[in-house]
Amino acid sequence: MTTRCVKCWKMIPENAKYCPSCGAPQMGETIPEQPTFSDRDKYKNPDSLIFPGNTQKSPVIAAIFSAVFAGLGQLYLGQGAFGLVLFIIDLAGAFVSFGTTYFVLMVMSVYWAYRDARTLNNGTPIRKWGGAAKLKY
């Protein structure tokens, strides 16, 4: 009998303690705590960042939301202003370009949402306007 990994959702043996694909501890095991970001000062402009929380954001769900309409995946990740701007540009561009802008921006939005969700889940903060955070050093 098999089950799915709690992190990457790949099929694993039912009694596996760790996922063979991503190494994540499975139910019944002590899951290490997410890092706390008391060291916010080591990042450039920490107020413009979204730090990882205790809950994981699904990259697949973020990508699906962005596939429905550009910017929805960013809203799901907490990048509100970025998602809203993409949404408005996509809506306006869809009418002006007869759908060309919609398709191009949707593909880019899907990629950005998936990438940023994976970055957050790996414990790295992301910028509110997209992409991984930069260290001061």
Using the predicted structure, report yes or no on whether residue 34 has a pLDDT greater than 50: no
Share of the chain above pLDDT 70, in %: 82
pLDDT of residue 137: 47
| pLDDT given at position 126 | 87
Would you give the distance in Å from CA 3 to the centre of its chain? Answer: 24
**Which three-class secondary structure state does DSSP give residue 108?**
helix
Is 0.75 topped by the overall pTM?
no
User: Which pLDDT band holds residue 38 (cuts at 50, 70, 90)?
Assistant: low
**Torsion angle in degrees (nearest 10) through CA of 118, 63, 127, 35:** -30
pLDDT of residue 65: 94
> Residue 104 — pLDDT band, cuts 50, 70, 90?
confident
- pLDDT confidence bin for 74, thresholds 50/70/90: very high
Tell me the DSSP string of 14-71: TT-SB-TTT--B-TTSPPPPPPP-TTGGGBSSGGGEE---SSPPPHHHHHHHHHHSTT
pLDDT band at 136 (very low <50, low <70, confident <90, very high): low
Output the pLDDT for position 122.
Answer: 84
